[in-house]
Amino acid sequence: MLGLSLLLGSGALSVILLVVSQWLRGSALLVTTAALALALGVSGWWRLRTAEWACLPGTRLFFAALAPILIVIGWQATNHPLTADGLFNFEIRAQIAAAHGGHLPHAFFSDASRTWMHQSYPLFLPLHQTWIYLTLGGVEQGWAQLLSLHFVLAAATLLYAGITRLTGAAWRGGVAVALLFLVPAAMFLPGGATTLWADFPLAVVFLAAVLAVAEFTAQGRGLALCAAWFALLPWVKREGLILAAVLGLALLWIAWRRGELRRAVLALVPMIGGVVAWKIFLTAVQAGGDRDFFPVSLATAIENADRLPIIALALGRELLTWERWNLLWFAALLAFLRIARDTRLMAWRWLPPVVLLPIALYSCTYLFSAWENPALHIVTSLPRLLLPLAMAALIGIAVAVPAWDEKN
């Protein structure tokens, strides 16, 4: 429940702040946003006040182990300054918004001298930083970096609670969380939790979405949560649309087998609505175009087909880079093979395609790279694209690890 609250609260806060900041500034924006967020929280509490709270096994031990890890994460986040994308693609929006009372001026989106800031990037993370700056009364990069803790806490609690609930084994939840902290790319490398780029928040939302689909597969409930996560994915980062589309397909397939296709289709509506609304907004503010990719066309794909070996080589090399991924992808491969062969894990057979298909789609996007050196484009972006998929792979590993006393 804590992980869900942290992440749903994040999504709600960013949307409320964006909408309210179109009309209000400064203290009025702060008070109105806080009041609306609080009202949402109170209404959630009111709805759940009579619900029975089930405490998962091992919860105390989990939080006792998590506390020192969070201290380490907070320490590392606050002694490494923001860099590169974290500063120039995300935090800068918050800094500009803070200078305008919490409102990101429309002139920002169409400023031709700042196209390198990728003005069409969604505002999920910058709006969190804007909120911090609004509450602290000015730009505070050091304090803003403590947002890392928010997303790490959400990831750890979602992973532990989700896997423990779905498998009935608290140790599997513990294994998944332990592995998460042992993957360098997820923690302290560019895009990882302590660096506060949008990649880690995207990975956490994807994790929540995968767990919600697993919950629907197991118990036929949780479609409202699926809808919320699908809508949030493209709002965190643009590639979230690819993740939402692939996971959406998996959900439709599962729902079709359960005879609940119509309800599942409805779960995709908020995502489509959000993407269309953001596109309309970007068009209205005349946002700068993307200089990283050529428009997608068959002709461009054929023209750049000679890049395929380069892409495949770079991908293979990346997955085997233990300094970034530890043994994650090797363990994931073994886990996926076990999921495919073991009938006890049949309910998880939708998971490997949800990890593998986006990897294939991401790789294909480099056929349209407009960079002079596409290999450099791959090397600088692919590791971060893989981060959300690593979260899903962690779930696969945690459910596939055989118990000590397992028979056959």
Partner 1 sequence: MKLRIACWWLLLGVFAVAGLLRWSQAFSVAAPDLAPDRAIDALARQHFGLADGAAILRRELGTFPTDAPLLIFGPGNDWTLTEAHFLLSYLAWPRPVWCLGDAGPATRARFDHPPPPGVRPAGLFFYKVAPPVELPSRALSERLSVAITGS
Please give the C-alpha separations between residue 405 and each of 121, 159, 338, in angstroms, as whole numbers: 49, 23, 17
Nearer to partner 1, 29 or 401 (CB): 401
CB-based contact 241:279 (threshold 8 Å)? no
Nearer to partner 1, 137 or 273 (CB): 137
Q: Per the structure block, which two tokens stand in for 171?
A: 């140790």
Q: How far is the CB of 143 from partner 1 (least distance, A)?
A: 6
Nearer to partner 1, 233 or 389 (CB): 389
Q: How far is the CB of 96 from partner 1 (least distance, A)?
A: 5
Nearer to partner 1, 294 or 371 (CB): 371
CB-based contact 109:290 (threshold 8 Å)? no
Nearer to partner 1, 189 or 247 (CB): 189
CB-based contacts of 248, cutoff 8 Å, min separation 6 = 230, 267, 268, 271
Q: How far is the CB of 112 from partner 1 (least distance, A)?
A: 7
Q: Per the structure block, which two tokens stand in for 203?
A: 């990975």
Tell me the residue type at 357. Answer: L
Q: How far is the CB of 139 from partner 1 (least distance, A)?
A: 6
Q: How far is the CB of 87 from partner 1 (least distance, A)?
A: 5
Q: How far is the CB of 108 from partner 1 (least distance, A)?
A: 8
Nearer to partner 1, 30 or 117 (CB): 117
Q: How far apart are CA 233 and CA 397, in angstroms?
A: 23
Which residues are at the interface with partner 1 (CB under 8 A)?
72, 74-76, 78-84, 86-88, 91-92, 95-96, 99, 105, 107, 111-116, 138-143, 175, 178-179, 181-184, 187-189, 322-323, 326-328, 330-331, 334, 372, 401-404, 406-408
Nearer to partner 1, 167 or 217 (CB): 167
Q: Per the structure block, which two tokens stand in for 326?
A: 């530890």
Q: How far apart are CA 298 and CA 377, in angstroms?
A: 21
Q: How far apart are CA 162 and CA 229, in angstroms?
A: 15
Nearer to partner 1, 28 or 84 (CB): 84
Nearer to partner 1, 89 or 363 (CB): 89
Helices (H), 184-294: 184-187, 199-219, 223-236, 240-258, 261-284
Q: How far apart are CA 214 and CA 351, in angstroms?
A: 9
Q: Got the DSSP string for 68-119?
A: HHHHHHHHHHHSS---HHIIIIIIHHHHHHHHTTT---HHHHH-GGGGGG-T
Task: Check the CA dihedral 262-266-267-268 and report its sign.
Answer: positive
Q: How far is the CB of 79 from partner 1 (least distance, A)?
A: 4
Q: How far apart are CA 169 and CA 173, in angstroms?
A: 7
Q: How far is the CB of 107 from partner 1 (least distance, A)?
A: 7
Nearer to partner 1, 189 or 207 (CB): 189
CB-based contacts of 371, cutoff 8 Å, min separation 6 = 292, 377
Q: How far is the CB of 219 from partner 1 (least distance, A)?
A: 27
Task: Work out the widest C-alpha separation in the chain, in whole angstroms.
Answer: 65
Q: How far is the CB of 129 from partner 1 (least distance, A)?
A: 12
Nearer to partner 1, 262 or 407 (CB): 407
CB-based contact 215:255 (threshold 8 Å)? no
Phi first, then psi: give them for residue 369, nearest 5 degrees. Answer: -60, 135
Phi first, then psi: give them for residue 265, nearest 5 degrees. Answer: -60, -40
